[in-house]
Amino acid sequence: MTEQPGSKRVIWSWFPVTFITAIFCCVLWGSASPAIKIAYELFRISPDDTASRILLAGTRFIIAGVMIIAFASVQGRKLLMPKASSWKYILILSLFQTIGQYYFFFMSLAHTTGVRGSIINASGNFLTILFAAFLFRLEKLDLKKAAGCLVGFSGIVLIVGGGGALMDGGSITLAGEGAMLAAAFFYALSGCCIKLFSRDENPVALSAWQFLIGGTVLALIGRLMGGTLVFYSAGCVLNLLYMGFISAGAYTLWGILLKYNPVSRVSILGFLNPVMGVLLSAVFLGENREAFSLTGLAALLLVSAGIVIVNISLKPQGGK
């Protein structure tokens, strides 16, 4: 039924609900780094066991894809299936968003801290802006966005040790910080592709099936390389289900918020992602020293400020 002036708004458009739901999504996304590092301990996967890490990543996204497909199918009262024309887009997205991004994401977290990983991964927000402007020609890079990217990237440089560390290697490793930057690169590519493909395609179907296909490919690669997942305790099962829910739950709820709210209102709350990642890494991984160091806090502040700057709307919003 169409809403009439003065009628009650959809609950998802109420700012308190929007804010609380956005925080919950950011808590889910922010918990990804600690959850993965905890999974390495639960499954007893050593830093040099690349095959098992790939298998773990693939299994996680198979579960995430199944969760989204099941939820959307129940909601729509029919099986969520993509159109025949969608499969080429699903394959492209699975290559960038799941296979490319999470191969490097899971590799990185075996060689760097959750705090560093959460902050460096936020660079994907700024790379998306640059790719959208210069590679995909989806939008123009204005002064506000350029300033936000500059502020955000300064935080990334700070957390890896400053300009000197970039020049001489410092504490940076390709398997750790370098792999997380690679993950952010693929995140940015997939973000631009989603913006292009969702013009004519169902974004939920695209995301769900690319999770499932990308996860299957990763799992097969990991298994063929000799990777194994040994369930030593019930905690292994719970951890794996939770990691699947991180992607499925956060994606679904964030999509609902975008449907019923101005994009700028929702996107600006994305600054909480690295904040939650750092806080949860401190709580669950004991990385308090790095999280609450002057450098860690300054880097987090710069990255969060950059996300706010690129997403804030300078034009007055119409209506309430």
Q: Could you report the per-residue pLDDT of 185-234, keeping only the tens digit for each?
A: 999 999 899 888 887 888 889 999 999 999 999 999 999 999 999 999 99
Q: Is the pTM of this model over 0.85?
A: yes
- Picking from 42-46, 137-141, 168-172, which range would have the lowest pLDDT averaged per residue? 168-172
Asked if residues 59 and 243 have their Cβ atoms less than 8 Å apart, the reply is no
CA distance 250 to 22: 9
CA distance 185 to 188: 5
Task: Check residue 319 and give its pLDDT.
Answer: 43
CA dist list (Å): 312 to 124, 132, 239, 262: 17, 17, 35, 11
In degrees, to the nearest 5, what angle opens at C-alpha 199 toward C-alphas 214 and 126? 65
Task: Check residue 31 and give its pLDDT.
Answer: 95
Q: Could you report the per-residue pLDDT of 49-106, keeping only the tens digit for each?
A: 999 999 999 999 999 999 999 999 998 999 999 989 899 999 999 999 999 999 999 9
Task: Check residue 262 and give its pLDDT.
Answer: 75
**What confidence tier does 314 reach under pLDDT thresholds 50, 70, 90?**
low
Asked if residues 64 and 237 have their Cβ atoms less than 8 Å apart, the reply is no
Task: Check residue 3 and give its pLDDT.
Answer: 43
The owner of tokens 């007893």 is: 44
Tell me the pLDDT of the chain averaged across its residues: 88
CA distance 30 to 202: 26
Task: Check residue 162 and give its pLDDT.
Answer: 59
**What confidence tier does 131 reach under pLDDT thresholds 50, 70, 90?**
very high
